[in-house]
Every structure is written in structure tokens, then in C-alpha cells.
A and B are shown apart, each in its own frame.
Chain A
């Protein structure tokens, strides 16, 4: 997993609250067997609308999504995080995230930073008035900078550490590989095996 310490990229203002995972990626895409290539599925229902923010050239290369409150509610599908990452988003900013979505994001290296709704509004204004403006998300300083706005960002310590170290869940468990080896060494031999 890629480490994130600081990220700078074009900010995309998504002025909608309660964006649920069905809107992030509709259920029809869950039938796929791949883990990558979900960029076309992201916000699929809205992508047909020319005026939708991601269809505007200035935002197309966006990597920081600045969303309304309660982002990621609904079903726990992990595909929502894959779709956002595949599209190119590195960071989602919102004043409130759904718990499961936040958990899934942290595990897969997508940074979810919590800002006050006031700061979100200020950043929206800048991004809408000057499309293509970059946003810097400083995980180390827990800070978001955009034009002359400097906003405090909330990220829990554990997730911040993992993202800065670039550790996914499996990478984290690999750190305890000795403990697993030890455990296996003392497992009773009567436990079943699937292979001869």
C-alpha cells in the first residue's frame, strides 16, 4: 500500500450530503470479478449528466473529493472504496462519514479526513469559483490547505499511523508473522487438513 504523508491535487467539490454507497457504485457492478477497473462505475448514475461535476474538464484530474456530510452510508460494499481509488481519488473530505465506509477506506489506503462543515463550505466556494484549484492534505500536520484557507483535519491516530506507514491490514498482520509461526508450531496434529 502506498504511503500517504502529504497529498496535493485538484479538489472536486461534491455539493451533496448523504451520498450512499449505492450512489458511489450501483449494485450492478458488484458482479464483476476484478478488483481494479471500477473507475467507470464511480457515481455511474450521475455520470450521464453533462453538468455533473466530474464531467467538467477542470475537475477531471481531481484527486481530492470534497463532499457533503454523511458520505458513504448504506451497504458495506468494499467496491465503493475501490471505485473511488480507481478513479484517482486519494483523499475524501467531509464533515461526517459513515463508520463502515470509513473503516473500509482506512484499510485500503484511501484517506478520509473530517473537516468542520464551515471549512467544507469555504473550500467549496474556492473550488467552484476557481475550478482546478489544488488542495493540499497534510496528514502529518492534520491540516488541509486550499488557497488561503487552512483547516484542521480530524483523523484517528491509528488510521493516520497506518496510512503514513503505508500498511494495509495484511501488511500489519505480517508484522506479527513470528507469533503466527509460533502458534502454528503448537497446533494439535488432530486438526483437519484439506490436502493430503
Chain B
């Protein structure tokens, strides 16, 4: 029997296999940031160990970094300590670091692909659950805990038990106005936030093949919101073209050798998945979440659901609780929900294509009066590119705040937070209670919906704007 993509990559990384024991898996790329690494480095220091492969390790500052006044000392003490600790650790252990202010600084999951470090067939880990992003290149990429970070730093390996595999078939063609974000929100709404537990998801089908690399990253990024360990997409010409010429991409003969290998990285026709799910992309409308987990989402044309309509007792209780927190009344059209803040950014939707898409919607318009619009590029490079294209001007003329790169309001570890009771339309990945600030209420949306919402002040899609203009 043939093998799935995930199995091929797994098998190619087995350092040691013994009956009844976890496989020892080799790690090709280890991404590090300031929040989950301090204790790992200290563990090494306490045991007198060193980093085995600094040349397969790279660090950046993202979770705590401010997005304004980045040349000033960081005001929050905890944030400053974490950042300073990372700098000391990288220096001491010889790890490449892109600190705040550096051209290559940014959200760890934006930086890896942008440098060309993320490549097909790699194993990629990071002390961060959204490491699944890198699976868009056909890499096996997953988040790990702090003691695993230490383990990888020390040995460049991890003892792991194999995952199960699930195919997510997305056929049909996306309608204008619907995007990768809507595909993944629809997938999560369909299989639930626990539906992917124990699985590596492989996204397949013509709708996936038609997506750009950045859109594929948006999809793989949120695999974790479906409970999965990782998400993957088989590499193809789109992938190769994206990598070619980037700073850390292979060159010359190495490129040819790499390409030959990468082309073998697809699920064999006779391979079997442990589970399969299908979605028709041509039926998808822009999706928004109404609740407090990413599975509580609906097409924008729907109304806030009535908890009583859920047959499953658990889902009903969860919906009741979510609506209370979100201060929403069943039956309200989603389009009538007014927001205070629009956040465009994060490792889900903070790349250049996302900013272009949002800018195209807001160009020449003014934001709704009572809405604050925050545009936070995923990396410093994305920011520079956007400025080259004049997107920053479009955003500022629209009335948005043009910020520096980082995780920002995705999790509010820096000062970019929602105030209690404030409501946002956010292009990030988690709408948990308090995620964007204590008492904050989050609706997850695509960049197109975020931008249109900024124009109208209520949850909207670009189509709503055209209608209004007519």
C-alpha cells in the first residue's frame, strides 16, 4: 500500500525505531521566540548542555513586541524581561536572532517562509501551536512544549508517537469574495474544534491547488483550531515558485536536487487516510464566528443562532455561554453586529497578500466613525513591501493605524488589546474569552470581511459595499 504525504515525511526522519517505544524523529528546522524558550535554555544551562545544531535554529521576537515606538525601551517589565532573556540566550548559545528593529523581525511563522527556510519535506517545530502554518509547504510542522523545546535544542530530535492522517478534500471553485480563511472556518465549523484531535490533516482538492502559498498558509495555520496536531498541503509548482530565490532557498545544483525530492512529496494514489472529510468550495460564503471558539462560525448572511436549536446538549450549553459572553441575541442578523475595533494582522492573515486584499477594499474610502482599525504587518519585511506598494498610505487615508510587525492584538501580550466589553472583527485565529484583552469579544473573519467591516462599522463583506454604492 502507498503512503500519505505525512507518512512519507515522518518515515524520512526516523532516527531510531524500536518496538513499543516512541520513534526518535529528526528535526530539520527549529523556530524559537521569547515566550516559550527561556526555561528551555535555562534547562540546558543547568545541565551543562549546549545547542546541538545552532545552524538549524532561528529566533525572532514577536509575541511581546510593541507595534509603536519600537525604538523606546519596552514599558511592560515582563515583556522586556522575556525579550532581554531571549537576546542573552541566543548570544550565549550561538543562535541566530532577529530582534525588534531588524529587517527580518516578525511573527515566527511569517519569518520562516519569507526567508525560504520553510521547505517541503522538512520537520519543523516551534514552541507555539500555530507552527502548523509551515505545513502549507508540505512540511510536517507542529507546536511543542517548553521541555520539548529544550529536547530539540539539545539533541535536534524528539521522541514521538505517529499521528493519524485525515484528508480534507476541498473541491469546486471559490466564489469571488470568499477566501482561504472562509475555507478553514468552514472546515472547523464542520468537524468541530476537537474533530482533528490526534490527526495530521492533509488539505487536498482543486480549490486548494488553486490557492497561493500565502492563502495555503492561512489554512494550515488554523489546523490547530480544529484540534489537529498539524496540517499539510502537497507541494507543487506554486510552492516551488514561491521558494525559488529566497535568501535561504537552495541554489544551483542543490536546487535541482531539492526539486527532484520535493516532487516525490505527494500522497500515493493507493494510500489510505484514517479519516476523510469533504467540502464544496463553490458553496462557501464569507464566514464569521459568533461565539467563543473557532468552531462557532456561520456564513455572514446568517443570524445569531438560537442555543435551543442545538440538539447536542454540550453544544447547546456552549452556545448559551458564548452568547452571554459575546452579548448577542439569537436571531440578530450577523451583518447588523457593530464592532469597535478591526484588527488586520497575525500569522493567519498578516502577510502581504492579506494587506493587499484589505487595501483594495478600503482604497479611497473612510472608515466608519466609531471604529478603530489596526493594521499590523506580520513581519518587518511585509511592512516594507506594503510601504513600497503604497498600501500604508491607503490604510492611513482610510483612517487606520499603520503599525510595526508582531503578534499584537492576536493575543494582546503587548499593549494592543481590547478593553472589557469591546468587540472586534479580527483576522487572527482565536476568539477565546479574553484572548484579545480581558472581557474583549472577538469575531474571526477574513481580511476582506475585516476591511469591509471597517467601512460599514458592522460585520460586512465587500459585496455589501458595492450594493451600498449602487
- Chain A interface (Cβ < 8 Å from any Cβ of B): 31, 33-36, 76, 78, 82, 104, 107-108, 168-170, 172-174, 176-177, 179-180, 183-184, 187-195
Contacts and interface: CB of A to CB of B under 8 A. Distances in A.
A-B complex: 3 closest residue pairs judged by Cβ atoms: A33-B38, A190-B258, A195-B55
A57 to B, nearest CB: 31
A190 B257 contact: yes
Interface in B45-61: 46-47, 49, 54-58
Q: Chain A binding site: helix, strand, loop or mixed by DSSP?
A: loop
Q: Report which residue of A168, A169, A184, A190 has the largest number of chain B beta carbons within 10 angstroms of its beta carbon.
A: A190
Nearest to A171: B47
B248 A193 contact: yes
A34 B15 contact: no
A85 to B, nearest CB: 12
Interface stretch (B77-85, B303-311, B329-337, B452-460): B77-85
Given A33-B85, A76-B145, A180 B155 contact: yes
A173 B55 contact: no
25 contacts: A33-B42, A33-B82, A35-B39, A35-B43, A35-B46, A78-B146, A168-B47, A169-B151, A170-B47, A170-B155, A173-B157, A176-B16, A176-B24, A180-B15, A180-B24, A180-B156, A180-B157, A188-B261, A190-B255, A190-B257, A191-B28, A192-B119, A193-B55, A194-B117, A195-B96
A33 B249 CA distance: 34
Contact of A170 (B55, B116, B150, B248): B150
Contacts of B192: none
A189 B155 contact: no
Contacts of A31: 78, 82
Given A34-B42, A194-B57, A173 B250 contact: no
Nearest to A31: B78
A35 B16 CA distance: 30
Interface of B: 15-16, 24, 26, 28-29, 38-39, 42-43, 46-47, 49, 54-58, 78, 81-82, 85, 96, 116-117, 119, 122, 145-147, 150-151, 154-157, 159, 248-250, 254-255, 257-258, 261
A123 to B, nearest CB: 31
Nearest to B14: A183
Q: Report which residue of A104, A170, A184 has the largest number of chain B beta carbons within 10 angstroms of its beta carbon.
A: A170
Given A170-B155, A173-B155, A180-B155, A192 B248 contact: yes
A179 B24 contact: yes
A170 B54 contact: no
Contact of A173 (B122, B159, B258): B159
Contacts of B55: 193-195
Given A168-B47, A179-B15, A190-B250, 17 more contacts: A33-B39, A33-B42, A34-B42, A107-B147, A108-B147, A170-B151, A170-B154, A173-B24, A174-B154, A174-B155, A176-B16, A189-B254, A191-B28, A192-B28, A192-B249, A193-B248, A195-B54
A187 B146 CA distance: 26
A36 B46 contact: yes
A183 B261 contact: no
Contacts of B147: 78, 104, 107-108, 169
Contacts of A172: 159
B39 A34 contact: yes
A177 B157 CA distance: 10
A108 B148 CA distance: 12
Nearest to A168: B47
Contacts of A108: 147
Contacts of B154: 170, 173-174
Contacts of B96: 194-195
A188 B258 CA distance: 9
Contact of B250 (A170, A176, A187, A192): A192
Contacts of B57: 194
Contacts of B85: 33
Q: Report which residue of A33, A192, A194 has the largest number of chain B beta carbons within 10 angstroms of its beta carbon.
A: A192
A191 B257 contact: no
A195 B157 CA distance: 19
A31 B119 CA distance: 33
Nearest to A177: B155
Contacts of B151: 169-170, 173
Contacts of A173: 24, 151, 154-155, 157, 159
B55 to A, nearest CB: 4
Contacts of B155: 170, 173-174, 177, 180
B47 A192 contact: no
A188 B121 CA distance: 11
B196 to A, nearest CB: 18
Contacts of B255: 190
A187 B159 CA distance: 19
A104 B81 CA distance: 26
Nearest to B117: A192
A195 B58 CA distance: 9
B56 A194 contact: yes
Contacts of B56: 193-194
B344 to A, nearest CB: 28
A108 B248 CA distance: 37
A101 B116 CA distance: 38
Contacts of A78: 39, 145-147
A15 B258 CA distance: 60
B159 A188 contact: no
Contacts of B81: 33
Given A190-B255, A191-B122, A194-B248, A34 B24 contact: no
A172 B21 CA distance: 12
Contact of A188 (B78, B145, B257): B257
A31 B38 CA distance: 10
A104 B154 CA distance: 18
A179 B255 CA distance: 28
Nearest to A34: B42
A170 B49 contact: yes
Q: Report which residue of A76, A174, A177, A194 has the largest number of chain B beta carbons within 10 angstroms of its beta carbon.
A: A194
